[in-house]
Structure 1
Amino acid sequence: MYLWNSLQYEGIEGKAEHLVYLDKKGTELEKLIIGTKQSIIRGAAGRKSPLGGRVKSGDVLYFVETGGSLLVTHKAVVKTVLETNKMTEDESKEFVDAHASQLNLAKHQYERWVGKKFLCVITIDHIEIIEPFEYNREKNMDDWIITDDINKIKKVVFVNI
């Protein structure tokens, strides 16, 4: 059932940086900080994997909460990535259930991901608080933005002297 894992991508040159939206209502960031959650999930109902092998071990994730201040406040390192082949609804449920303890999903999150044809579980390591920053939010930004340098999407703040 599993298609990729992060070890298969170690040979790809360069590390990426990712801006990742976390569900404030599901207290995802809080759970990651206190250690009751070790992994993040993404899914797709379409014809391909949601992240398609573009996240790999060693990449850096920057976190922002949906419905919050939209300040980026924490970062972590990707430990492992597990992406699936196309699944049936039952296989999707089994996959989410198999990773339930490390995902620690709220009920509304569980219902969102179960049934997706493709799923990706990203396990993180070394979460830490950072100097908060704003970013340039585009109108149709997804909940996962990939860049080679987070500074490219940081909002520039001008100070009058």
Structure 2
Amino acid sequence: MAVSEWYQPKEGRAEHLVYLNSKAKELEKMLNKEKKMLIRGAAGRKSPLGGRAKIDDIVYFVETGGDMMVTHRGIITNVIETEKMTPDESVTFVNTYEKELNLSKDQYKRWAGKKFLAVFEIDKLEAIEPFKYRREKNMDDWIITESIDDIK
């Protein structure tokens, strides 16, 4: 597969490996343009990614429960992070982006009500030459790295 020139990395930009929920068919929904945004949340004292995911960062995708093969990538085109919210404010926030998130019922239950939420709009989704993610002991569902080559 030829290397795409759709995006040239900018100095200081991160690359991310993001798990997509296979049961909720997140990758399929994104490829069919039925989903434009990803959501992450935290019940603790700060935003889920702490401002470390930025517009123009590259995101690579791996599906949960699979063979750890990374098959697609895209770029972050918008980031919206909340301040600390009440459960009602959190539900309202999730409902605001309901169409773009296209969450399953289980996903909705997981995220609506969290104290902190962030949504990430993804564009320029494309298939890439698949590679295997070397997971080691990392249990996070969103890994931030300087270069994706660091975790191949």
5 Å-filtered alignment, 1:1-161, equals 14-154=12-152
User: Displacement of 1:79 after TM fit?
Assistant: 0.3
Q: The residue matched to 2:63 in structure 1 has which SS?
A: strand
Aligned counterparts of 1:79 and 1:26: Cα–Cα separation in 2: 23
Residue number in structure 2 paired with 1:158: none
Unaligned residue ranges in structure 1 (runs of 5+):
1-12, 155-161
Residue number in structure 1 paired with 2:8: none
2:57 partner amino acid: D
State the identity %.
62
Aligned counterparts of 2:38 and 2:133: Cα–Cα separation in 1: 21
Aligned counterparts of 1:140 and 1:19: Cα–Cα separation in 2: 12
Q: CA RMSD in A?
A: 1.1
Aligned counterparts of 2:67 and 2:23: Cα–Cα separation in 1: 13
1:120 partner amino acid: A
1:46 partner amino acid: G
User: Displacement of 1:136 after TM fit?
Assistant: 1.3
Give the paired residue count.
Answer: 143
User: Displacement of 1:135 after TM fit?
Assistant: 1.7
User: Displacement of 1:138 after TM fit?
Assistant: 2.0
